Amino acid sequence: MIEFDRVSLTLGSFRLNDVSLRIGKGDYYFIVGPSGAGKTVLLEAIAGLHRPESGRVLLRGEEITALPPEMRKVALVYQDYSLFPNMRVIENVSYGLRVQGMRKKEARAEVAPLLERFGIAHLADRYPGTLSGGEQQRVALARAVAVKPDILLLDEPLSALDPITQEKFIADLKRLHREDGLTVVQVSHSRREAHLLATRMAVIIDGALVDEGEAGVVLNAPRSREVASFVGIENILDGTVTANEDGLATVDVGGLVFEAVTDAAAGEEVTLCIRADDVVLAVGNDRRTSARNRMSGTVVSVAENGPVAEVRVDAGVMLTAVLTRRSVQELGLVPGTPLTLSVKATAIHVIHSFS
């Protein structure tokens, strides 16, 4: 539906460089990356607010590089909501319809179901300044949807919301995407939001597209060490393949040996990526596991975060595991506890040195 064909543009000292990507109809597409990477610039280029210096932007197979924003059937919601402070909620939500020429009474009748849908009908006569952040975000989203866009663009819509409100808004976005079949493109620096919402995603770092594809693949099988670090893979280990037999490689990581499923050849430098929730811990010398990678270690630290805990283990290299807080208590894990650590060979993602 949306395609960037080698798009480059410069804004001050920032440059979006040679970006090519494709967003399909009905995708919930995330653009993620660190602060200053160019995520919002890319979103605004989709909206038509920036014209590329080179490359093409296509919509539904037709080039729209020079097409003005109002002709693209897209709606853009910024993280600061951008509501009109001198307009009541119902006037804000119906604003786009009024600009399109709809009469005031008809526009209000048109958006009334939207107010109900987003749980803001009781706020219809309130001004934005009297609303909470979550209420303002719902108003901004209702205003965007009111004009029936083909594409909804969201610029970090959850960043200013408290955790409880975030959960409610995530549910709203899931429902909107599922029920309306909208193509949604969301900018975020949050890996958690991508896990919960994205069907496909792109990773932008320093103005360059460094990874792109189905969300599950990008998050769990990244192309590079840089991407692996950004998407939050907790254990990233560099090593050398010492042997490979029928796709099962032996990898030396600082004297510690791992087995992993890969076609990497003997002598090749590789990076092993292991999610913390794929690291299994057992106290003492417990042998009840079929995992090929099994080693002894000692707990270095335990950091609780709500119902889960992050356990750092020295097993010759530092490894991180995530357990429920209850499991940590039942196992009696404290710094200094000896234990057995295991990881399945199939749970290790291998990045080749040439990736």
Indicate whether 212 and 277 sit together in one domain: no
CB count in 10 Å sphere of residue 347: 19
Instruction: Show which of 204, 229, 254 is a domain's final residue.
Output: 229
The dihedrals phi and psi of 210, each to the nearest 5 degrees, come to: -105, -15
Indicate whether 240 and 266 sit together in one domain: yes
Instruction: Show which of 213, 229, 245 is a domain's final residue.
Output: 229
Indicate whether 222 and 237 sit together in one domain: no
Task: Say which CATH number the domain at 283 has.
Answer: 2.40.50.100
Indicate whether 341 and 201 sit together in one domain: no
E-strand ranges in 91-182 read: 151-155
Instruction: Show which of 229, 249, 270 is a domain's final residue.
Output: 229
* pTM for this predicted structure: 0.86
pLDDT at 354: 55
Indicate whether 169 and 107 sit together in one domain: yes
CB count in 10 Å sphere of residue 12: 5
**Residue 69, both tokens:** 């924003």
pLDDT at 285: 61
Indicate whether 213 and 252 sit together in one domain: no
Beta bridge partners of 312: 301, 320
Task: Say which CATH number the domain at 120 has.
Answer: 3.40.50.300
Q: Do the beta carbons of residue 45 and residue 216 sit within 8 Å?
A: no
pLDDT at 204: 94
pLDDT at 288: 60
* Helix, strand, coil percentages for the chain (3-state, nearest 5): 30, 35, 35
Q: Which residue has the tokens 């060979």?
A: 345
pLDDT by position in tens, the chain (length 355) = 899 999 999 998 999 999 999 999 999 999 999 888 999 999 999 999 999 999 999 988 889 998 888 888 899 998 887 899 999 999 999 999 999 999 999 999 999 999 998 889 999 999 999 999 889 988 999 999 999 999 999 998 888 788 888 888 888 899 889 888 889 999 998 888 999 999 999 999 999 999 999 999 999 999 999 999 999 899 999 999 999 999 999 999 998 999 999 999 999 999 999 999 999 999 866 556 668 899 999 999 999 988 899 999 999 999 999 999 999 999 999 999 999 999 999 999 999 975 4
pLDDT at 289: 63
Indicate whether 309 and 343 sit together in one domain: yes
Indicate whether 163 and 255 sit together in one domain: no
Indicate whether 75 and 178 sit together in one domain: yes
Indicate whether 30 and 159 sit together in one domain: yes
Give me the number of domains the chain comprises: 2
**Which residues span the domain enclosing 24?**
2-229
Q: Which residue has the tokens 């950004």?
A: 230
pLDDT at 133: 87
pLDDT at 17: 93
Indicate whether 277 and 185 sit together in one domain: no
Beta bridge partners of 321: 311
Indicate whether 271 and 326 sit together in one domain: yes
